[in-house]
Amino acid sequence: MRRPGTRRLAVLAVSAAMVTVGAAAPPAPRASGPAGKTPVAVGYGGAVASVDKGATAAGIEVLEHGGNAVDAAVATAAALGVTEPYSSGVGGGGYFVYYDARTRTVHTIDGRETAPLSAGSDLFLENGKPLSFDDAVSSGLSVGTPGTPATWQTALDRWGSRGLASVLRPAERLARDGFTVDDTFRSQTAANETRFRHFPDTAKLFLPGGELPAVGSTFKNPELARTYEELAQKGVGAIYHGGIGDDIVKTVEHPRVDPASGWKARPGKLAEKDLAVYRAKEQAPTRTSYRGLNVYSIAPSSSGGTTVGEALNILEGSDLSRMSEAQYLHHFIEASRIAFADRGRWVGDPAFEKVPTKQLLSQRFADSRACLVKDDAVLTSPLAPGDPYHPAPCAKGGKAAPTTYEGQNTTHLTVADRWGDVVSYTLTIEQTGGSAMTVPGRGFLLNNELTDFSFAPASPSVPDPNLPGPGKRPRSSISPTIVLDGHNRPVVALGSPGGATIVTTVLQTLTEFLDRRLPLVDAIAAPRASQRNAARTELEPALYDSPLRGQLEAIGHRFSRNPEIGAATGVQRLPDGRWLAAAEKVRRGGGSAMVVDPAP
C-alpha cells in the first residue's frame, strides 16, 4: 500500500516526447457549463473528470487531503453512485485501469458482474426462444453478481493509501445531504418512469411523492448513505457475505412488483453462493503500439482493449493527420467495422472461451484486415470475421454474423494525482436504470448486466463466444484507456459510456486527439460516428446534418441518426507537468473537470 508521504519528483519531469504528441496545451477556458460545471481545467496537484460536479468534487477532496489517484477514483465512483444512480453504483460492475508512476506500469481490475453458477446457455430462452430484450431487462434474470464493491476494495488494497471508510465519506455525505436535480437526472428518471413504477421500492426512492423529481429540487438518498456507512464499518463483506447481500438475493429471487402494473418480472437465480465466490480479477492490460505510443486498456472479458487496439493497428498504416475530414471519417468507420466483425467472433469471457487476445492485437493480423479498406468504396456489413490465428492478407473471411444488441449507458471517470499516477475507470449497471429493481431499504439499483450476453447466437453457423454460462462474465465494450509515451510516461487517459459505442467513441476521441491534433476537450466534444459492423453507421446530428454525410454517401456509406453517443472524460499530462482534465461540453448536460491547484 502506498503511503501518502512517498511523493515523487518524477511528476515534474517534462517529457520531450510529449511536446510533439497530442494537441498542444490549449489556453484553459474557464467558462462554466450548465449547472456551474466546467468541462476543462488545468493545474497541479492532480485532476478529476467525471460527468458530475459533486462526484468530481469528491475525488478532488480526497486528492486535497493527500489521497492518491486510486483513493480519489473510488471516492468519485462512490459519489457517482449517488448522483448517477441509473448508471453506476454498488449494484453494478466495471473495469479499472491504473497507471503506477513509480514503476511506470499499468494494471487492471476486471470487476465485471458474473452470471449465477446455476446459469446455462439457455438463461434467456423461454420455450426454446430468446426473450425479448425488454422482458429480460426489468427482471431478476438480468442481474449479475455485483463487482463494483470488490473492485473498490481490491484497488484500495493493492494501490490505495486510504481505507474504504475514508474514501466513502464524501459520497455518504452527498447521499445524506442530497444533490440538486438537473435536467439529465430528471429526463433519465422520466425515461424509466413506467418500469420504475412496476417496482414499488424503486418508485418510492426515485419518484418521491409519486412524482418525477423537479429540476432544482434536492434529491436525498438516506438509505444509500446508510449502505455506505455499513460498508465503511463492515467492509464489502457486508455485500458478499452479509446482510446487504442477503437483501440482494431476496430481491433477485423474489422481485417485488406492483400487482396493478401487470408486469411479469421473471425471478433470477442469483444465490448467496454466487456472492460468496465473487472475485474482482487483477489482470494484465492490453497493449497496442500506435504512432510510437503505448495504448493500454482492458483485456477480455471486455472487448474494449482488443477492439480499440485492433482498429488502431488497422489505422496505423494511414496518415490520418493529413486526410480530409471525410477521408478520416471513412477510414475510422471502416476500421471500426472490421474490428467489430472480429470482436463478435472471437471475444468472450476468457475463463470460458479460447480468446485470441494476443493475435487480435498483432500488427500482422491488423495489416491483413487493413488491406480490405479502399479509399473510394465501402465494405459490406455484416462483414465476416478474419482468422487471427492464421492471418491471410485481404481474406474475405468465412461466415458473417451481425453484432448483437447491447444497451447503452454507464459512466466513466478519469483521475490523476500529484505523483503522476492515473486511473481510467468505467463503471456501470448496464442500461440507464439497470434492472429497475432497487434493493429495499438499501438505496441502490441492481444491474441488468447479464443482458450483455447474446441471448442466442446471432447466426446459427457462426460460433458465439458470448453465450451465458455458470459464473461467466458477459462480454463488455468498456474501454478505459491510458496512453503512455515511449518512456512509459502518461500522455492521456480517457474512456466513455455508451454500450458498444464505447469502443468507437474511445477510438474516435483518441484519433481526434493524437492524429487530428484537437485539444482534448474538443476531441471529446467532436461530433461522433459509430459503426459496429452494421449496414448503417450512426451519426450524431452535427455530422448527420453536415455536408460530410453527402460526401461519404457518395462513396457508398449509409447512415442513421443517433441523437447522442457516449459521454467521455479524460486527463492529459501537459509537457510542463500540469494536468488537464476534460469532460463533455454539452452531452449529458456537460461533464465536470477539476484540478487541485488551478494554473491555467
Integer Cα distance of 137 and 293 in angstroms: 40
CA nearest neighbour of 477 among 543, 436, 533, 516: 533
* Residue whose CB is less far from ligand GLU, 337 or 343: 343
Integer Cα distance of 549 and 284 in angstroms: 40
CA nearest neighbour of 408 among 424, 428, 388, 431: 431
- Least distance from ligand GLU to the Cβ atom of residue 588, Å: 12
Integer Cα distance of 419 and 426 in angstroms: 22
Summarize the annotated binding site as residue ranges.
112, 452, 476-477, 499
* Residue whose CB is less far from ligand GLU, 184 or 294: 184
- Least distance from ligand GLU to the Cβ atom of residue 95, Å: 8
One of 38, 410, 504, 505 is an active-site residue; which one? 410
Integer Cα distance of 117 and 250 in angstroms: 16
- For 102, half-sphere exposure in the C-beta direction (CA atoms, 13 angstrom radius) is 9
CA nearest neighbour of 551 among 372, 329, 373: 329
Summarize the annotated binding site for L-glutamate as residue ranges.
112, 452, 476-477, 499
- Least distance from ligand GLU to the Cβ atom of residue 345, Å: 17
What residues form DSSP beta bridges with 485? none
* Residue whose CB is less far from ligand GLU, 139 or 294: 139
User: In a 3-state reduction of DSSP, which class is residue 598?
Assistant: strand
What does the binding site for ligand GLU look like in residue numbers (CB under 6 A)? 406-410, 428, 430, 449, 452, 476-478, 497-499, 502
User: In a 3-state reduction of DSSP, which class is residue 536?
Assistant: coil
Residue 66 contacts residue 58 (beta carbons within 8 Å) = no
* Residue whose CB is less far from ligand GLU, 71 or 430: 430
* Residue whose CB is less far from ligand GLU, 207 or 458: 458
Q: Does residue 151 carry a catalytic annotation? A: no
Task: Copy the grid coordinates of residue 193.
Answer: 418512469
- Least distance from ligand GLU to the Cβ atom of residue 496, Å: 8
- Least distance from ligand GLU to the Cβ atom of residue 80, Å: 13
- Least distance from ligand GLU to the Cβ atom of residue 264, Å: 23
Element (H or E) spanning 494, and its range?
strand 490-495
* Residue whose CB is less far from ligand GLU, 419 or 444: 444
Residue 465 contacts residue 355 (beta carbons within 8 Å) = yes
Cβ count within 10 A of residue 155:
26
- Indicate the burial class of 16 (C-beta count within 10 angstroms; 0-12, 13-18, 19 or more): exposed
Catalytic residues: 410
